[in-house]
Structure 1
Amino acid sequence: MDQERLSHAKDVSNGDTENGQSMHTTKRRRKRNPLVWLASRAALCGAWIVRVLLYLLYGICGLILLLGRGILDMCRGLVVPLGKLKHALMQPVRIQMRNADRVQQNMRAARHKGKKHFAAALLKSAHTYLWGENGLMITIFHYVAPVASLAFLVGVVLYGAHLQYGLVVQYNGEEIGVIASEEEFDAAASEVHKRIADVELAEPLIYTPKFSLTIVNDTSDYVPTSVLADRMLSSSDAVLTKACGVFVDDAFVGAVASNQEVEFALSERLADFNAPAGATDVQYENAVTFRSGMYLEDSLLDTEEMIEKLTASERYRSQYTVQQGESVVQVAKKFSMAESELRELNPDLEEGECQAGDRLTVIKTNSFLPIQYTERMTLTSFIDFDSIEVNTSSVNKGDTQILVPGVKGEKSNVVDIVYVDGAEASRKVIRSEVLSEPVTEQVGIGTYTAQPMSKNTVLRGSGQFSWPVDGGYISDPFISDRNHKGLDIAAPAGTEIYAADAGTVTYAGWNAGGYGYLVMVDHGNGYVTVYGHCSMIYVSEGQEVSRGQRMAAVGSTGRSTGNHLHFEVRYNGMYCDPTGFLRVNAD
């Protein structure tokens, strides 16, 4: 018994061992086949994607179903009104069907009573069916009448839209024509005013019109403005005549029997006009027009009188102010005068030139119809320069100095000059070309503050050089009693020394000739300044320095008995008195 249990236990143990080995084998196989694992994962992802798509499709179907239900509910809501509409439309049909059945029953009943009763019943039934209370004709009328009325209304509107309307003008009790709008009458009234502008009867000839609407079959029925003006004048009591009106810039001048001679005279005057060579667009300044129509006899002029009026002109003296840059020749040309004529009218000119602002006597022409022409010229004009201020230590504080002179530029202009009656009226620049650019003027505003220690030290030199020490006083003048070749300026040791003007440092170092530490500056114009006995030097040879730039410090090096600056001015090697170039505390 115990052996069997042991044997069974052994078998079980062996079985577990085999199962364990099997599981280990499966795991090993899985590890050895990654493709199977990837395939399973792909299948799971695919299943998840399909599931998402199914949910999405389910949602779309639900939305469609919801919309369908909404449409169905809306249709259901229309069922009742549609049913009522159908009932209303079909009710007359049902009535007529019942009437037809009733007629048939009456006819069957009358047939058994004899032919006489049948004929009478037939007539009565037919009348009742067609013209009774709910007869067929009455029903048809109820349907047809609204449709016919609507069609008639549409037809009337369409017909009226294509009609043309006009205003019948009643003037002084007479119908004088049809116009499109009241503005045309206003234009005709304005034309009448122009024709009678120089006649005292102007106001009594203008009456208040009356307008009434009418249908116009053709646009040719409208009356033109000129014809309407003729009819307005004709309806008055004034004495009229058919003539040709002359207008200058739309202003009435007078009327003539014929305009041919007047036009010829004006054209001949233009042809005889002595325009300068190269002049173009020779024409009258004002527009001259001729309009045929009815005019007052009082405004009628004979041809010669009209020609004389239009071509009249006079010459008279006037004063002219000369503009900047104008010469005698230019002024004479401006008024189509000879230079000799202009000088004769202005004896003070003699052979000289005029100046801007001079008042000259010139000859002007005043014509009823001025003649104008255009002359193209190439002129040179100046371009003004700008001016700017620049702070500079090269100028003492409180003083100004032009550092860079301004220079005007020049440009060439192609100009069309319009002359009226020989005098320049206007000019227009066609194109320009800059010949030279202007140079900007630079005005130096002084910032240099070095001055003698005392206001009592006054030097009235040229100011070419500035005081070279921040303070100090003159302790020994030029020459003095020992042939002193410079100017000694005493100041405490270490006081700053400045360049008296811009230049190039030609020497900076120790001088064995008694100057001690020395700086020399060549200013490039023959002048050299010298700074001796310095305690320290801050510049080097070859360095460019500006006016007022710090170069050294006051000291007492070399042959010196105290702290001071020995300052010299040399011109081409010759010693000059520095005070002749310094200007300090001077008015």
Structure 2
Amino acid sequence: MGKLTEMLYDRRRHIGTASQARSKKEWMKEQTAAFIRAAKSEFRKTFNVRTSIAALAVLALTSVGVYTAHDKVKTATPVYRVYIDGEYTGVVRDQASIQEQMEKYGPLLKAHVAFLPVHQAVKGTNEWTVANAIAESTKTMVDMVVVRVNGQDIVHVKDKETAEKLIQTLEAQYVKPDSNATVKLSEQVDFVPLHADKQTLVSFDAALALIQQGKNERKTYVVSRGDSLWDIASKNNITVDQLAQANPNIADVDALAEGQQINLVAVEPLISVDTVSEETRELTTNYEVEYRDDDSLDVGTEKIIQDGKEGKKTQTVRITRHNGAVTKEDVLSEHVTAEPVKEIISKGTHKQAYSSYSGSAAPVSGSWAYPIGGGYISSQYGENRGGKPHLAIDIAAAMGTPVYASNNGTVIQAGDLGDGYGNCIRISHSNGVVTIYGHLSSMNVSVGQAVQKGQRIGGVGSTGDSTGAHLHYEVRVNGVHVNPTPYM
């Protein structure tokens, strides 16, 4: 009985609070008295002694079981129940590693995280679940919209209005406000609402640039004086066709201006715009050039009898474009508004004997100097240039290549008159012959100066209406263009 009472006391001591605890002797005395009173009560009732003893045995065994279980819990390794902002998240065994993770977040961690130590046997813990929940608590979650292209999330913007403005801005680059064009996106584009971390949001300008630029890195080139399309393509290891494809917005990639910025890589936007429109346009038609032999003119000379004139016509066309580049044209109707006028040129057939000459003025015929110190003929006299004959010879050469006077004469022009020739020198020879040297980079003579055949007068350039370094060599007799070949 004494041992049982002591055991019950030890059990009470473990499960009671310190404020309720009494001295062992006092407590045992009370329990003994209680036990005697219980025994007497049992005897007073109808139960027999054997039943009472059995009941006391059950009470004793129960006390022993509670004591044994409590002892096992007391000696078990503690684990920690984790609460984030008061909500139970999971059980962890390594509290230190979780707290180390929390310290790394610093001020980003605004949630209150509590650890409650417990003594209980667990088969598994939730370290990953707890760590992930703490990481998620550092994020500032907001409502936003993701632009999804062909099922792939491309960019996050703040709302649907911003997403719609992106598409409207993209379409406006290829469609004029008053256009009757039908517009269609090449890809399936959806605006999907979601709740996500605001750090994933992208500004409007950045989102538009991403959609326009796509996967390729944008590379550009600034045109220098004298650059041709071939020069730029060669410098950047690409073809001329690739260069043209990278610049669909440039109407004439052959007519490049100094300082102009062009693309080196064709842009592949993430969202493409297809348009179909009906347009009316006016076109010019080339005129024919007819040559007539004229024995009154010396061989190598020509005279325009009738000026040519371009014709005009209007067309109504259906034009299909992809990102602004024309992919298809269908002519719906066509009307000629002005017929072209043929140009008629007399071509000299009279041959005359050449004689040697020396003196201060150049003869109409005789020995002439080649007007440049190198290069090659890039455009012949009479060559078709947009429906018009080229009335000079172009000699391509490196920038600064020396240019010489073809014969003795007097300088009557040395400067840029704004007529497309750029820096230009004109030299008057005898019998109404004038030689013209255009697009020069430098000029070494002045008006009124007498020059000798073979004298350096300037350097090759690309001034005026020019797309590359070359000498424009032209000869006129009494104001009429003639083939410069005999004067070289």
Same fold (TM over 0.5): no
Alignment TM class, shorter chain as reference: under 0.3
Q: Which has the higher helix share?
A: 1
Higher relative contact order (CA 8 A, sep 6+): 2
Q: TM-score, normalised by structure 2?
A: 0.26
